[in-house]
Amino acid sequence: MKTGKSNSNAVAKSAPKIKDVARVAGVSVATVSRTLSKPNTVAEGTRNAVLAAAKETGYRVNLAARNLRRQRAGAVVVLVPNLGNPFFSHILAGIESTLANDDLSVLVVDTQQSKLKSEFFYEYLHIGRADGIISLDGSLSSEKLNTNDGSNSRLPIVFACEWSQFDDCPSVRVNNRRGAGQAIQHLAELGHKHIGFLNGPEGNVLSVARKEGALRGFQTYGLNVVPEWFFEGDFSMDAGVHAANNWLGLSERPTAIFCANDESALGLISTLHQNGVEVPRDVSVIGFDDLEVSEHFIPPLTTISQPRMELGIAAAKLLTQQMEDPFAGDLPKEVLPVELVIRKSTAKLPS
Amino acid sequence: MKTGKSNSNAVAKSAPKIKDVARVAGVSVATVSRTLSKPNTVAEGTRNAVLAAAKETGYRVNLAARNLRRQRAGAVVVLVPNLGNPFFSHILAGIESTLANDDLSVLVVDTQQSKLKSEFFYEYLHIGRADGIISLDGSLSSEKLNTNDGSNSRLPIVFACEWSQFDDCPSVRVNNRRGAGQAIQHLAELGHKHIGFLNGPEGNVLSVARKEGALRGFQTYGLNVVPEWFFEGDFSMDAGVHAANNWLGLSERPTAIFCANDESALGLISTLHQNGVEVPRDVSVIGFDDLEVSEHFIPPLTTISQPRMELGIAAAKLLTQQMEDPFAGDLPKEVLPVELVIRKSTAKLPS
DNA sequence: GTTACGAATGTAATCGATTACATTAAAGTT
DNA sequence: AACTTTAATGTAATCGATTACATTCGTAAC
């Protein structure tokens, strides 16, 4: 069967190409290509011969060649606001596992670091490296991402978790407003009348949504909105530390605090504890996100749980749908449910 | 200057190619290519004309074409044991930021998920998708990664954090043995004579190294090795929970516990607390890693700090070195220093 | 004034796959 | 039997850049 070159222990044989497979199988390159991509268009006998030849030669497609010809990249860029933040890792895991099924690679970019050299950043997206974008960073509008320079290449974009308020890309998020509402409801039902709120950074879509939800909750339960009890933060533990210090300095203190995310709640509790204030004895605290560590914190944190892995999975699916059919038009804004997880950081107000 | 096609508001102009730039600049494609990659080989006037034309047309190289011709992928695969684990995110951030400088994309693969379908996994690495591998997963030997099927393509590999005990790839890691030794030293100096150890999974290189370090510390300070005080774990919080339950069931208990990582230490402290055992009043606990949350835990965790971002940066640099010169031969095993961070989870043994 | 050389640029082959179009053979139709 | 249709396969163009080799031109050397 073999022609010419021995296939055994030659010196430094270079990677087998489709041509080699064709030669071994005794067919044309077109047939090999077809066998591999549309198997049912070739006769069974031929197919088997090609498959055998491919196995024998150890053939692997060359992606650069395929992508060049197919005019695609076979990859998706995921824009992460801050790779160092553990919150995103599960989402990333969900994205990765889902896209792997479609033979799509996942390119990860930390927007915090790349934004500085922003020209390069935008350029990065438009040199055929990726066929689509998943952004976990709501501060990037799809307009900015796609039309920075009048370039014609428009990539499908899906937002996950965060989203851009200025355009209506498909997105996957949780019901932040309702989650925040549930948090307030929980505190209200425990008898708290004086509730504070530690928010994320101003302008962030999540901050806005969660604040709205919280305010609606205040209204529903007839709670007073006391401006001194609304702390500005940035979702970091340090924000919790600051809020705790503010709380300590108040003459009149809320008996419960809703934090817009778990991290800041943990920082808050930690600092309160260091100052002799115990949660939930002296003040109840509820968070948002349900990080792994929240369950094991002291006290275990009551919080609003987001299905992070599912967010990633849903975003990836939405993106692949859009990639398959760019004219699909209005793709949904999926809103996943949140869940109140009651642990030990909230307690009944002693009357 | 312009020939034929208008450059202004045409319908759906497709992405400009090198040919378009050449036409606008009035030179050949070769000159354009040279201007862009080896600017000093073209005359200044020509260079300026080309640059201007490139700007005017909004030209961007097509990576698939470049990669095909250059026989490279322009990307690096990072193998992460578990993307959901926050420990890895900072390392990833370091890798990403460093490789971005070399115009290399970062492909992320979760080995936990991909291992199942392992054929695909190994194949993934050898279809020209990547020019190099950074593995944070020590259970993958470079042999397995590179020679699964007699394929000739050998990719440069660097291990980070973990490493494979069975071969000597370049790697970047911290001084685990010394770190563990310092932990024991710290406890010994606080007067503890009865020290327990919660390890990671058996066989894991980090477990082995940290256990060795701990044992050496035991020896140095003349401490007894009590088998019941050595708990097997898997670096998870749950492992800490189990260890705590074991500790509670002991008739004779160690007064201090060294945990092979922070996560399990947090789980341990949390469960002890739930059972009325206070750290460090009743038992001292020290961890390893220095996660963000450790500083804000209750009590703030004494631990051995690893420079995670630096690990990523160093690994990325090592890899690019190796990619530039595959014959460099023995590349170093870099060992970065660790640091004992004393917080509040360890205390003097009351005499 | 001719030759030699080097710098600057152009022409065309090349990377390795996919696929439009062409060709062939077999089966079905009248 | 001649003709149409369909299935299976082959030939060669194509994707867009890089680069070996060829060409041109100006300048220095003799």
Residue whose Cα is closest to the C1' of C20: A30
Per-residue model confidence as pLDDT tens digits over A223-282: 999 999 999 999 999 999 999 999 999 999 999 999 999 999 999 999 999 999 999 999
> Could you tell me how far CA A351 lies from the centroid of its own chain?
43
Tokens coding A31: 């047939």
Residue whose Cα is closest to the C1' of C13: B69
Least confident of A3-17, A24-38, A119-133, B307-321: A3-17
- The yes-or-no verdict on residue A39 having pLDDT over 70 is yes
Tokens coding A256: 């419960």
Task: Tell me the residue type at B272.
Answer: L
Question: Measured between CB atoms, which of B65, B88, B240 is closest to A68?
Answer: B65
What pLDDT was estimated at residue A115? 60
Distance in Å, alpha carbon of B311 to nearest chain A alpha carbon: 13
Contacts of B88 in chain A (CB under 8 A): 89
What pLDDT was estimated at residue B10? 36
Do B300 and B139 contact (CB within 8 A), yes or no?
no
Give one DSSP letter per residue of B295-338, joined into a string. HHSSSPPEEEE--HHHHHHHHHHHHHHHHH-TT-----EEEE--
Contacts of A107 in chain B (CB under 8 A): 75, 105-107
Q: List all residues of chain A from 66 to 95 with a beta carbon under 8 Å from chain B.
A: 67-68, 73-75, 82-86, 88-90, 92-93
> How many DSSP H helices and E strands does chain B contain?
14, 12
Question: Measured between CB atoms, which of A126, A296, A309 is closest to B270?
Answer: A296
How far, in Å, are B209, B216, B277 from residue B268 at the CA level?
21, 24, 11
The band of A117, judged by pLDDT with boundaries at 50, 70 and 90, is low
Report the distance separating Cα A241 and Cα A229, nearest Å: 15
Q: List all residues of chain B from 227 to 256 with a beta carbon under 8 Å from chain A.
A: 237, 240-241
Distance in Å, alpha carbon of B282 to nearest chain A alpha carbon: 16
Per-residue model confidence as pLDDT tens digits over A138-190: 988 776 666 544 445 578 999 999 998 877 889 999 999 999 999 999 999 99
Question: Which residue carries 């959901």 as its tokens?
Answer: B84
State the average pLDDT for chain A.
89
Report the distance separating Cα A94 and Cα A160, nearest Å: 11
Do A322 and A142 contact (CB within 8 A), yes or no?
no
Do A68 and B65 contact (CB within 8 A), yes or no?
yes
Å from A31 (CA) to C22 (C1')?
A: 15
Contacts of B267 in chain A (CB under 8 A): 296
Which helix H or strand E contains A63, and what residues bound it?
Answer: helix A63-70
Å from A59 (CA) to C16 (C1')?
A: 12
What pLDDT was estimated at residue B117? 58
Q: Is the minimum CB–CB distance between B12 and chain A shorter than 8 Å?
A: yes
Task: Tell me the residue type at A18.
Answer: I
Report the distance separating Cα B17 and Cα B29, nearest Å: 10
Beta strands in A115-178, from DSSP E residues, in sequence order: 132-135, 157-160, 171-174
* Side-chain half-sphere exposure of B76, counting CA atoms within 13 A: 32
How far, in Å, are A100, A300, B73, B90, B240 from residue B82 at the CA level?
15, 24, 25, 13, 19
Three-state SS for A306? coil
Question: Measured between CB atoms, which of A97, A128, A298 is closest to B64?
Answer: A128
Report the distance separating Cα B124 and Cα B153, nearest Å: 12
Do B42 and B34 contact (CB within 8 A), yes or no?
yes
Do B265 and B287 contact (CB within 8 A), yes or no?
yes
* Closest nucleotide C1' to the C-alpha of A62: C16
Which candidate, A213, A237, A226, A241, places its Cα nearest to that of A304? A213
- How many beta carbons lie within 10 A of that of residue B100, not counting itself? 20
Tokens coding A85: 């933040």
B68/A83 CB distance under 8 A: no
The band of A5, judged by pLDDT with boundaries at 50, 70 and 90, is very low
Q: Kind of pairing, strands B302-305 and B339-341? A: antiparallel
Per-residue model confidence as pLDDT tens digits over B275-295: 999 999 999 999 999 999 999
Q: For testing the chain B interface, which of A8, A69, A105, A291 should be mutated: the one with the most B CBs within 10 Å? A: A105
Question: Measured between CB atoms, which of A73, A96, A109 is closest to B109?
Answer: A96
Distance in Å, alpha carbon of B43 to nearest chain A alpha carbon: 26
Report the distance separating Cα A271 and Cα B321, nearest Å: 45
- The yes-or-no verdict on residue B267 having pLDDT over 50 is yes
As a whole-number percent, the residues of chain B with pLDDT over 70 amount to: 89
Which helix H or strand E contains A2, and what residues bound it?
Answer: none
Asked if the peptide bond before residue A299 counts as cis, ω within 30 degrees of 0, the response is yes
Report the distance separating Cα B256 and Cα B14, nearest Å: 68
A270/B240 CB distance under 8 A: no
Protein-covered nucleotides of chain C (CB closer than 7 Å) are 7-12, 14-20
Q: Is the minimum CB–CB distance between B100 and chain A shorter than 8 Å?
A: yes
Which helix H or strand E contains A234, and what residues bound it?
Answer: none
Per residue in A274-287, is it b (16+ CB within 10 Å) or e — as a string? eeebebbeebbbbb
Sequence-distant (≥ 6) Cβ neighbours of residue A334 within 8 angstroms: A170, A171, A172, A173, A314, A318
Do B54 and B32 contact (CB within 8 A), yes or no?
yes
Residues 32-51 of A with CB under 7 A from strand C: 33-34, 36-37
Report the distance separating Cα A261 and Cα A263, nearest Å: 6
Tokens coding B336: 């970065």
- The yes-or-no verdict on residue A289 having pLDDT over 80 is yes
Stretch B81-86: mean pLDDT: 80
Tokens coding A10: 């030659």
Do A46 and A31 contact (CB within 8 A), yes or no?
yes
**DSSP one-letter code for B281:** T
How far, in Å, are A80, A234, B221, B260, B304 from residue B346 at the CA level?
36, 31, 17, 15, 12
Distance in Å, alpha carbon of A220 to nearest chain B alpha carbon: 34
Protein-covered nucleotides of chain D (CB closer than 7 Å) are 7-12, 14-20
Tokens coding A161: 């978790």
pTM: 0.89
Report the distance separating Cα B78 and Cα A191, nearest Å: 50
Residues 61-90 of A with CB under 7 A from strand C: 61-62, 65-66, 68-70
- How many beta carbons lie within 10 A of that of residue B300, not counting itself? 18
Stretch B138-155: mean pLDDT: 67
Distance in Å, alpha carbon of A179 to nearest chain B alpha carbon: 23
**DSSP one-letter code for A286:** E
- Residues forming a β-bridge with A110: A80
Beta-carbon contacts below 8 Å between A and B? 168
Per-residue model confidence as pLDDT tens digits over B5-17: 333 333 446 789 9
Question: Measured between CB atoms, which of A107, A128, A298 is closest to B298?
Answer: A298
Do A251 and A49 contact (CB within 8 A), yes or no?
no
Q: What are the residue ranges of helices labelled H in A71-204?
A: 87-101, 111-114, 118-125, 142-146, 176-189
Per-residue model confidence as pLDDT tens digits over B194-226: 999 999 999 999 999 999 999 999 999 999 999
